[in-house]
Amino acid sequence: MAQLNFDANTVDPQSSFDPLPAGWYKAMITESEMKPTRNGNGHYLQLTFQVLDGEHAGRIVWDRLNLANPNQVAVEIAQQTLSAICHAVGQLTVKDSAELHNKPMQIKLKVVPATAEYEAKNEISGYKAVDGSPAAVATAAPVATQPATATDGNDSAPRWSR
């Protein structure tokens, strides 16, 4: 048993974590971490994005970039995606992923439908500068993945949200 002094009248209940509607959102990277792949044969950069405005302000979306992987196609896609992020925030050389934190950009979300095993989720499918200038638009390459949830540790599924 835990002693609680809590009044639910003073705190709004948690809302559902249904996927955000497809579209462009102003967001920024708030956290990044290099993690080993589940099979131990590589590493991915996990990026945490926070939506900055609108009715979904404060919502979180993640992306995973397989930067070190035996599958060279996965590495190329990850590098293209990282380049798109760098162009969107105007930081073309990066020594540490923290250099990409707290820099607003626009992210394009799509909704991946639910399957028999997994709930519907968001995927980030593009990046562009906040001003939306055509020269700054960069779209991530499509990724063939198996669905995953935020808790199943499947590093082959790079995108989800809450």
Q: Check residue 54 and report its DSSP letter.
A: S
Looking only at the bridges linking them, the beta strands covering 60-68 and 43-51 are antiparallel
Strand order in the sheet with 23-36: 121-128, 105-112, 23-36, 43-51, 60-68, 159-161
pLDDT at 133: 61
Q: CB of 29 within 8 A of CB of 131?
A: no
Where do the H-state alpha helices sit in the chain?
A: 72-89
Does residue 157 surpass a pLDDT of 50?
Answer: no
Structure tokens at 84: 């798109």
Please say whether the dihedral angle defined by the alpha carbons of residues 138, 72, 22 and 152, taken in this order, is positive or negative: negative
pLDDT at 138: 54
What value does the mean pLDDT take over residues 155-160? 46
Give the span between the Cα atoms of 63 and 92, in whole angstroms.
19
Query: From the CA atom positions of the chain, what is the Rg in Å?
Result: 17
Q: CB of 30 within 8 A of CB of 101?
A: yes
Does residue 83 surpass a pLDDT of 80?
Answer: yes
pLDDT at 139: 55
When the pLDDT of each residue in the chain is averaged and rounded to a whole number, the result is 85
Q: pLDDT tens across 91-150, in order?
A: 999 999 999 999 999 999 999 999 999 999 999 999 999 987 644 555 555 544 433 333
Give the span between the Cα atoms of 43 and 18, in whole angstroms.
28
Structure tokens at 18: 């249904």
pLDDT at 149: 36
Does residue 158 surpass a pLDDT of 70?
Answer: no
Does residue 52 surpass a pLDDT of 90?
Answer: yes
- Kindly give, in sequence order, each residue whose CB lies less than 8 Å from that of residue 69, ignoring residues fewer than 6 positions away: 37, 41, 42, 43, 44, 75, 78
Q: Which domains does the chain have, with CATH numbers?
A: 23-161 (2.40.50)
